[in-house]
Structure 1
Amino acid sequence: MSTAVFIGRFQPPHLAHLETIRRALARHDRLVVVLGSAYSYPTPKNPFDVEARTAMLRASLEPALEPRVRFVAVPDDYYDDPRWFRAVRKAVEGVVGKEEKVCIVGYHKDESSYYLHGFGDWPFEPSGVRRELNATLVRERYFGGDEGWKAMVPEGVRAYLERFAQTPEFARLQAEWRALKHRRALERAYPYPILHLTVSALVRARDQVLLVERQSGLGQGAWALPEVHLGPKETLLTAALRALREKAGLGLSAERPTAWWAFDYPERSLRGRVVCYGCYFDLGFSAPPGLGAPQAFWLPLAELDRSQARFFEDHYQQICWFLGRPPQRPTPEEESA
């Protein structure tokens, strides 16, 4: 038995995705669809969760094909590509076993398609799909109010998106999409690319981490590390301590952080090219200090993975990096909690 693996974000699924699935099933016994960017906070770039994307794809398949398709979800791991490849392999092998003959199907869209050749003994098999269609264009028209998106997606996806457009969540995402369009239009007026430098602060105390709930702007309602833009006369440390004071109401005295790192994945933020310098403060077994901001709270590490869909940008990945652990898929029990 042969298995094809189709990796993508499917935000949302469109006709080229469906054609790729049909062609793969014409050549192979079954198909595993890997849903990337899983368990992330909804944004205009990734508006739909795993369940919604799975439902849209299932609704688009012919009844005879649907039993031959399996779905697995893999979270982003921006700062360790080999570990991400291992996570994908583990998820697929959990469905088909380790002895199965497997290949990767897809098409080279742009530089983000580098992963197609990264699985060693799983060869790449071009899908042969040549449609000039991508999910970015679908989302642009969808959030922009252009009805042309309806001709780009299967009927099952169209029905779902029409229902979603009547929800408060769509209104929130559309407002963010408009704000981002305005921001990018302003930045295009500058004669050079703009680089934003921010500083985040991770504080750990007794296996709890300090978080804040964003009150406004992009990612309103998301959980985040305290973060500020680096001031022109600040060091990384003074900016991190300021982030804790201003965002969490925490006055922390520290000569230097336990660790720091530059989180520089180019696509980590929809705000533009934002490099975030993370500072980690480990207070050991000290009791979590009191906080002076109502939006700040302590999250037990035992609840970290089940909560990852609440996190702003790559802040969940930042925490994982400092703690020396990979991003984890929530267990079925955690997902249903």
Structure 2
Amino acid sequence: MERGLYIGRFQPYHNGHQSVLERISKQVDEIIIGIGSAQFSHDINNPFTAGERIMMITRSLEGRLPCRYYVIPIEDLQRNALWVAHVTSMAPPFQRVFSSNPLVVQLFHERRIEVESPDMYERDSHSGTEIRKRMLAGGDWQKLVPRPVVDVIEEIHGVERLCRISGTD
């Protein structure tokens, strides 16, 4: 049984994440999807709560992966030297990490945990930063995320929230 870990902020979960998870699911028996920076919400870079991100991911993945997966929140420590120990204490046991984040790759590499950097899917347009920017500008962001994510964001009035919190007083 091989279990892999994939960590992201998922602000919001988008088609790039979906593509990476579909590829990872063909390489491992189970995937742990770690919602990074889980303690942050309601700010311009992190507008969605960990619970809302869990809804986005679980609804988007229903019936899409050939393997079992777990979605877990992981709060930041602000102490990088301890972060890998923190993650391993919060997650089920895993043998491999999937990440293209240079800091994440370095921290797991230092702990001698195998890290694989999956190719990113259309990275220029499929990033949380670009999607949030389009939301704020009234642009077309919906085509960059799975339909269940659009539904969750509409349900929680996520675009309105993002516009409101990005304003000034």
* TM bracket, shorter-chain basis: 0.7 to 0.9
Structure 2: how far apart are the matches of 1:116 and 1:164?
33
Structure 2: how far apart are the matches of 1:64 and 1:154?
12
| CA pair 33-172 structure 1, distance change in 2 beyond 3 A | closer
Residue number in structure 2 paired with 1:144? 137
Aligned partners of 1:54 and 1:71 also within 8 Å: yes
Q: How does 1:1-337 map to 2 (within 5 A)?
A: 1-63=1-63, 65=65, 68-78=68-78, 80-92=79-91, 95-96=92-93, 100=94, 102-108=95-101, 113-119=102-108, 120-132=111-123, 133-146=126-139, 148-165=140-157, 170-179=159-168, 217=169
Aligned residue type for 1:37? S
User: Deviation at 1:175?
Assistant: 2.6
Structure 1: how far apart are the matches of 2:117 and 2:50?
25
Q: Once superposed, which parts of structure 1, at least 4 consecutive aligned residues long, lie more than 6 Å away?
A: none
Aligned partners of 1:117 and 1:123 also within 8 Å: no
Q: Which has the larger radius of gyration?
A: 1
Structure 2: how far apart are the matches of 1:66 and 1:2?
14
Structure 1: how far apart are the matches of 2:136 and 2:156?
11
CA-based RMSD of the aligned residues comes to 2.0
Structure 1: how far apart are the matches of 2:49 and 2:164?
19
SS of alignment partner, residue 122 of structure 2 = coil
Structure 2: how far apart are the matches of 1:52 and 1:172?
13
| CA pair 45-22 structure 1, distance change in 2 beyond 3 A | same
Percent identity between the two aligned chains: 24
Using structure 2 for the length normalisation, give the TM-score: 0.87
- Which structure dedicates a bigger proportion of its chain to strand? 1
More RCO (CA 8 Å, sep 6+)? 2
Aligned partners of 1:58 and 1:66 also within 8 Å: no
SS of alignment partner, residue 141 of structure 2 = helix
Gaps of 5+ in 1: 180-216, 218-337
Structure 1: how far apart are the matches of 2:98 and 2:71?
15
User: Deviation at 1:43?
Assistant: 0.9
User: Deviation at 1:38?
Assistant: 1.1
Aligned partners of 1:20 and 1:127 also within 8 Å: yes
Structure 2: how far apart are the matches of 1:65 and 1:173?
30
Gaps of 5+ in 2: none
User: Deviation at 1:13?
Assistant: 0.3
